[in-house]
Amino acid sequence: MNDSRPRRNNDTFLKSIKNALKEITFFCQTIKEILNFVGSNLVNAFNQLVYETRFHQNITMSDPIIKIVLCMCPNLEVARHIGTHAIENQIAACVNLIPKVESIYHWDDKINNDSEVLCLFKTKKELLNELKSAILKLHPYEVPEIIYLGVDGGSKSYLNWISQSTKTSE
């Protein structure tokens, strides 16, 4: 009889240990699943945030530092010459040349109708005077069109590129 009683206590003790281990295993598995769920959601949220910040973030500026300068040229040769000068001297990050723009205007007491090239210069506010001086120096017109437009907002990465692709004012 003495042998059976300790055995019963051992069996009960072992069952208790097994049940405790099952509960601990279940608890650990539950924690692991929660951490996996939370972790993957955090990783996804972080990746989404990085994606939106780097590629799709739009910014709005109250005092635009990025400007678009409009200038009409008589032909592509002149437009390319002025545009290339602006890029080489880093007073514009990009120049778009849009040929075959029909201009109707009043000059020398008559109405004129000419095909011209529209130049769109992307630059910084601090470089406007230098860009204007370059256009005035290289342009064949007596009174060339030079119009500044403020960029009120846009893709942050593109606006940063404009800023980084142009020189710092002197």
Encode the chain (170 residues) as per-residue pLDDT tens digits. Answer: 555 556 666 777 777 777 777 777 777 777 677 767 666 666 666 556 555 555 445 666 566 899 999 999 999 999 999 999 999 999 999 999 999 999 999 999 999 999 999 999 999 999 999 999 999 999 999 999 999 999 998 999 999 999 999 999 76
Could you tell me how far CA 18 lies from the centroid of its own chain?
58
Q: How far, in Å, CA of 136 to CA of 141, rounded?
A: 9
What confidence score (pLDDT) does residue 51 get? 54
What confidence score (pLDDT) does residue 126 get? 96
What confidence score (pLDDT) does residue 49 get? 58
Residue written as token pair 């201009």? 103
Q: How far, in Å, CA of 97 to CA of 79, rounded?
A: 7
The pair of three-digit structure tokens given for residue 21, joined into one six-digit string = 């281990």
Could you tell me how far CA 81 lies from the centroid of its own chain?
29
What confidence score (pLDDT) does residue 39 get? 65
The pair of three-digit structure tokens given for residue 143, joined into one six-digit string = 């009174």
What confidence score (pLDDT) does residue 64 get? 82
Q: Which of 68, 69, 78, 66 is nearest to 126 (CA)?
A: 66
DSSP 29-82: HHHHHHHHHHHHHHHHHHHHHHHIIIII-EEE-SS-SEEEEEEEESSHHHHHHH
What confidence score (pLDDT) does residue 155 get? 92
The pair of three-digit structure tokens given for residue 150, joined into one six-digit string = 């403020």
Q: How far, in Å, CA of 82 to CA of 69, rounded?
A: 13
∠ Cα 162 97 70 (to 5°) = 65
Q: How far, in Å, CA of 85 to CA of 62, rounded?
A: 30
Q: How far, in Å, CA of 120 to CA of 117, rounded?
A: 10
State the amino acid at position 128 in one-letter form.
Answer: L
